Amino acid sequence: MAQWVESGGGPLIAVPEAVLPFWAGADGDEISSDYDRACAVDGYAGLLPVGDTLALVLGDEPASTAYLPEHRTFVRWYAADSETELLDGVPAALDSAAWEPEVEWRVPGPVVLFDAAWPGEASPRTEHVRVDLEPGRYGVRAAYVSAGPETWLGLVQVRARTD
C-alpha cells in the first residue's frame, strides 16, 4: 500500500532536496521560525521560499498524507474506514474535485515530504516520503473531496507544465 507521513499537529512540507539544509523547522532564535511561516499558509496548499527555490506546504488540518505517483497527487486522509477504501476513491475524487486556483511551482528536482516542524537536515531520520520530480515547472492544485458517505480526502495534484 501507500507510504504515509504524519505530522505532530502542524502542516507537512515538501522541500526540494537541494535546499533541505536551509529549512530550520521550529528551530532557531528568530522571531518567526520556518515552522511558523508554514503554519501561516492559508488553504489546502501554498508555496514558501526556501533557499533559492520554493517548498510546497500542505496546509489546512493535519492529516496522514501519501504521494501517489500514478496520479502525481498527494492524498490526505481526512476520513475513511480503511486505506483501501480511501485509495479506491482517489480516481473518482480526481474527476469530481472542485479545485482551488492553481499555483506554479518550479522545482530543481526531487522533493522530500515531512513534518514542517523538523529541520530539513533531520528529515531522513523522521517519517518522510521522497518524491521523484524532474526539474521544471509544475502546476499545483488542491481540493477537499467526499469520495463516499464516510470517506473524505484532500488532494494536492502536481502537474507538469509545458506552456
| Domains held by the chain: number | 1
What is the span of the domain harbouring residue 152? 4-160
* Separation between Cα atoms, residue 25 and residue 23, nearest integer Å: 6
Q: Which three cell numbers stand for residue 4?
A: 504515509
For the entire predicted model, the pTM comes to 0.93
| Percentage of the chain lying above the pLDDT 90 cut | 77
- Residue 96 reports pLDDT greater than 90: yes
Confidence of residue 108 (pLDDT cuts 50, 70, 90): very high
Q: Is 24 left (phi over 0), alpha (psi -120 to 50) or beta?
A: alpha
Confidence of residue 28 (pLDDT cuts 50, 70, 90): low
DSSP 100: P
Q: Average pLDDT of the chain?
A: 92
* Separation between Cα atoms, residue 55 and residue 48, nearest integer Å: 5
Confidence of residue 124 (pLDDT cuts 50, 70, 90): confident
Question: 44, 58 in Cβ contact below 8 A?
Answer: yes
pLDDT at 126: 85
* Separation between Cα atoms, residue 61 and residue 123, nearest integer Å: 21
CATH number at residue 27: 2.60.34
pLDDT at 4: 94
pLDDT at 147: 84
pLDDT at 61: 82
